[in-house]
Structures are given as structure tokens and as C-alpha cells.
Amino acid sequence: MSKILIADDEGSIRRTLREILEFEKFEVEEAADGVECLSKLRKSEFDVVLLDIKMPKMDGMEALDRIQELNPDLPVVMISGHATIDTAVEAVKRGAFDFISKPPDLNRLLITLRNAIDKAGLVTETKILRRQVTAAKVQDIIGDSAAMQQVRNTIDRVAPTDARVLVTGPNGAGKELIARWIHAKSHRANGPIVEVNCAAIPSELIESELFGHEKGAFTSAMKQRIGKFEQAHNGTLFLDEIGDMSLSAQAKVLRALQEQKIARVGGDKDIKVDVRVVAATNKDLRAEIEAGRFREDLYHRLAVIIIQSPALRDRRDDIPALITHFISQICAEYGVPPRKMTAEAIEALQQLEWTGNIRELRNVVERLLILGADPVTADDVAMYVAPPRERVGV
């Protein structure tokens, strides 16, 4: 049974709405003003709020802003007998699901409530699916080298806190996996982890991507868009390749981290966000600061904890375990029995430079499983992987 909160200072309106909604099998509670409405929302969960605009102590518009901070996914339907079209538009811009004039049309009211409940259900379902997908993506951290043990120990100590983390290391070294484990081991694990590849987004679009935009904010803004900061509310925002972010976007990210609030492009309303930021880069940010391409104040905000993701050539002892893991993973994906690789083949792979790191190793293992013998031999490695000049010491 869906639960509705009616917030209206007119007792006759509350009673009428209660009778109608209870007849339609809704569970109903009442509040006589905005303050009581917020108090009830803090104590109980509701599916929809019917919120009057003109109320004592706290009017509906202010209460709407507070509800957006308290629970941005809760649908709020505004009701008023004195409002204008401008008021209705303003309410929707502030986050209201819809606006209904008094006295309300019964059919429209019921349709609006059911639509609001359906939307809330879809939002909840989407979050559950996102968490399931996120959990499925979190792979084990493979390897027992000293470098990887230090990474694991740091994750275990940092994850339960809200400290910001900067993950450094070359491309393909597993920075994203470290970020996912920080999220999975944190108290935010039930919230979303939202990833942004700063290098893949044009500089003119990065602000809209991060902070969202209002309809009409620019030529192609045909509808309102929720940015990555809002999507990551109560979760983790992973800013990959942050060294490639434009200086103007860096300034806005700095403000968001300082004040824990953002403003959509084209909007004048500050939106509070509770987000833990994990950033990653393959660049030397100190050198980028010296060159004037990265803000030093943002660096200090992000680099509370620094985790170095080691290059594969610095953890060669982990290569046999990684190969075993990838063989099992790839064979399962292809639906074939697990294959084997000779000790000589593994030793040959350990001697390579691995400029593409773990990502390159997985691709090479897949290539050898497709093209090589069973078991994969050192001759297969020599034929299908790298010429001798690329081997260590040659």
C-alpha cells in the first residue's frame, strides 16, 4: 500500500483528500505546515508528498527545497488555489513532480499520484540494478607482491573513511579497480559509484556532464539533465584521468568539494550533494601544476590520500597469478573448458616490458588462447606476442 503525506494548513482540504485517497486504498498521514511535514519525513518513509504552497511557519516552496535536500528522489506534488503559471513553473524547476490547482480534479489527482509512485519505483529499481552491476564489476585484486599488499592495506584503512583519494599510475595498471574497491569497502557501498572519464569528454561539455544543466541553458539543451555529482549522491564519484580536465571545470569541481553543493549549468539554485570523490591520473600532477595546467588548490583537495597503482613490470611476481585468473575468466566467457599454459610460456611472458600493463596482459592471454596450442607454449609466446628486442635486457 502506497503511503501519502498531505501537507496543508486547511483542515477541510486535508480531510477531503484523506477520504478520497483512503477510499482508493492509499495510506495517508497529515501535516498542518511545512515544519511538521519535514518532521514526519524524517521519521517515516512516504511514496509521495502532496504539498500546499501557502502555509504558516514554512511555506511550500521552502519545504520543497528542504525535501530535495532530505530525499531528492521523493516525488512532491504541489497544490495551491492561488498560484499562477509562473509559480507552477518555478515549483517544477525546483524539483516538484507536478503542480495541481485547488480544488483538485479527482481523476487528475489520482493519475498524477500513480505516475509519481511509478516514477519513484523506477528510480529505486534503477539504483538496485546499478548496485548489482557495480558489485558484479568489482573483480578481485590479484597478486601478492609487496607492492600489491601495500595497495590492499591502504584500501582497507582508507575505505571506511570519507577521505578523498588520488590514485596514480600508468594506463592499464588497475586504477579503476582500486577505486571500485574503495567504494565497495566503504559505508557508501549501497550507494552508486559513478564514473567520469575526464579525457573522453570535450572541454566544452565537461561542466554539463559533471553538474548537469537546465532546459534551455544552451542551444542543444532540449531538456533538463542531472549531472554526475547528483547521480553520485550518497555514493562515490570516480573522476578518471582528472589531469585532462579543463581549468574552468577544475574551478567548479573545487567549489563543489569545498561547499558540498553544485549548480546546474543555466540554473541559479544550489543543490547539496553528499559525494565521496576518488580521482585518478596517469600524469604527474606536480609537473602539471608547474606548467599551469592544473590547480594546486584542487590537487591538495583531492590528494588527501595517494595510492600508487604499480606498473606490471614492477610486480612481475604477480604475472603467473594474473595469467591463471585471465585464462579462467576468458574461457568462461567463451564457454570452453579451461586451457593451460606451460611454465616456460609463463616465464617468457614475465620477461616482457608490458608497457600496456594489466590491460595488455589480458589481451595477450586472450590472443594466445585463440591462436596458440593447448597448452600454450613458449614458442607460441615468441610467435604471437612480442619480438625478442622488446624483452627485458635485450
Regarding whether 290 and 198 lie in a shared domain, the answer is yes
Q: What is the pLDDT of residue 392?
A: 44
CA dist 28 and 353 (Å) reads: 67
168, part of any domain: yes
Residue 23 neighbours by CB distance under 10 Å: 8
Q: What confidence tier does 59 reach under pLDDT thresholds 50, 70, 90?
A: confident
Alpha carbon dihedral 57, 60, 66, 71, in 10-degree steps, equals 130
Q: What confidence tier does 344 reach under pLDDT thresholds 50, 70, 90?
A: very high
31, part of any domain: yes
Pick from 296, 191, 186, 278: nearest CA to 238: 278
What does the pLDDT look like over 60-71, one tens digit per residue?
889 998 898 888
Q: What is the pLDDT of residue 83?
A: 62
CA dist 125 and 336 (Å) reads: 34
Which triple of cell numbers denotes residue 309? 597503482
Is the pLDDT score of 11 beyond 70?
yes
Regarding whether 302 and 337 lie in a shared domain, the answer is no
111, part of any domain: yes
Average pLDDT over residues 238-264: 92
What SS3 string covers 283-339? CCHHHHHHCCCCCHHHHHHHCCEEEECCCHHHCHHHHHHHHHHHHHHHHHHHCCCCC
Regarding whether 299 and 231 lie in a shared domain, the answer is yes
Residue pair 135/184 in contact by the 8 Å Cβ criterion? yes
Regarding whether 298 and 317 lie in a shared domain, the answer is no
Regarding whether 302 and 159 lie in a shared domain, the answer is yes
pTM: 0.66
Average pLDDT over residues 280-303: 96
Count of domains forming the chain: 3
Q: What are phi and psi of 293, to 5 degrees?
A: -100, -5
Is the pLDDT score of 179 beyond 50?
yes
Regarding whether 249 and 204 lie in a shared domain, the answer is yes
Kindly state the percentage of the chain with pLDDT values over 70.
94
Is the pLDDT score of 390 beyond 50?
no
Pairing of strands 261-263, 270-272: antiparallel
Which triple of cell numbers denotes residue 129? 540494478
Last residue of a domain, one of 285, 310, 335: 310
Regarding whether 299 and 197 lie in a shared domain, the answer is yes
Q: How many CA atoms lie within 13 A of 56 on its CB side?
A: 3
What does the pLDDT look like over 346-363, one tens digit per residue?
999 999 999 999 999 999
Regarding whether 303 and 317 lie in a shared domain, the answer is no
Average pLDDT over residues 286-302: 96
Q: How many CA atoms lie within 13 A of 141 on its CB side?
A: 26
Scored b (16 or more CB within 10 A) or e, 262-293 reads: bbbbebeeebebebbbbbbbbeebeebbeeeb
What does the pLDDT look like over 98-115, one tens digit per residue?
988 888 888 888 999 999
89, part of any domain: yes
Q: What is the pLDDT of residue 238?
A: 97
Pick from 230, 265, 190: nearest CA to 68: 230
Of 237 and 136, more confident: 237
Regarding whether 284 and 158 lie in a shared domain, the answer is yes
Regarding whether 191 and 67 lie in a shared domain, the answer is no
134, part of any domain: no
324, part of any domain: yes
Omega before residue 320 within 30° of 0, cis:
no
> CATH number of the domain that 346 lies in?
1.10.8.60
Spacing of C-alpha 380 from chain mean position: 42
Domain limits for position 261: 150-310
CA dist 309 and 173 (Å) reads: 6
Pairing of strands 305-308, 165-168: parallel
Regarding whether 179 and 257 lie in a shared domain, the answer is yes
Helix axes 106-137, 11-23, angle to 10 degrees: 70
Regarding whether 302 and 206 lie in a shared domain, the answer is yes
Average pLDDT over residues 75-99: 82
Average pLDDT, the chain: 89
Is the pLDDT score of 10 beyond 80?
yes
136, part of any domain: no
The length of the chain is: 394
CA dist 96 and 61 (Å) reads: 9
Of 129 and 143, more confident: 143
> CATH number of the domain that 42 lies in?
3.40.50.2300
Is the pLDDT score of 339 beyond 90?
yes
> Which residues have CB under 8 Å from 187's CB, separation 6+?
160
386, part of any domain: yes
Pick from 300, 231, 224, 325: nearest CA to 265: 224
Last residue of a domain, one of 287, 310, 333: 310
Last residue of a domain, one of 92, 126, 160: 126
What does the pLDDT look like over 38-58, one tens digit per residue?
999 988 889 999 999 888 888
Q: What is the pLDDT of residue 104?
A: 80
